[in-house]
Amino acid sequence: MILSQFAPMGSLCRWLSLACVLLMGVGWGSVAMAANPTEVAPKALSPVAEVVPHTPQTVAQQRLEAIGEAMQTIRLCNRPNCRYRDISVEVRPISGTDSDPTLEYEGTINAIIDRPSGSLDKAHYRLAFRGGRWQLLGGEEVSDVSSFFFEGDTYEVFSTYSTRSRKEKLADARSSLRVGYRELYYRVFDQGRER
């Protein structure tokens, strides 16, 4: 009679023992997971940071020099020697360090424009290296009779023959507008972005 009263208690003890063993197993697994989470967590579920490949400054420099070489093929008027000459490029880092994958560069191109004029015409262009490509930001071209200022796809011209400046889009400019920037923007670059 006494044994029959404790029979339900025995099965209860067995259930409690089993529950304790399961809890201990879960606890030990948690300790193992905390000690080395990369082995327990599947790689497919781990967060992945998108890494933008870093372009070394020497590569960015070479690509800007190639752009400068392409500028030498541009004719700026009907005369055969009406071209860019004495082209120089410069590349400078603008953020981070050489080991920083988000490093970007700024660049400049300076040149003399050989045109039939009484003085040396000069060109200065500003560029930025973003997303793995050079982008033409703007610049200026100065001659003895006019000054052109460029920002993206727009230009503004100041002439000694007029008291007013004129601001327009490059796409809307007349074909008689022979500025190097427009040729650079569309022929060397693809609407200001490196091809």
Tell me the pLDDT tens digit for each residue of 43-54: 444 444 444 557
Q: How far is CA 131 from CA 70, 105, 135, 182, 188, in A?
A: 22, 11, 10, 23, 18
The CA-based dihedral angle spanning residues 56, 57, 58, 62, taken in that order and rounded to the nearest 10 degrees? 110
103 CB contacts (<8 Å, ≥6 apart)? 54, 55, 93, 95, 96, 97
Tell me the pLDDT tens digit for each residue of 97-112: 565 555 689 999 999 9
- Report the mean per-residue pLDDT for the chain: 77
The type of residue at 185 is Y
pTM of the model: 0.68
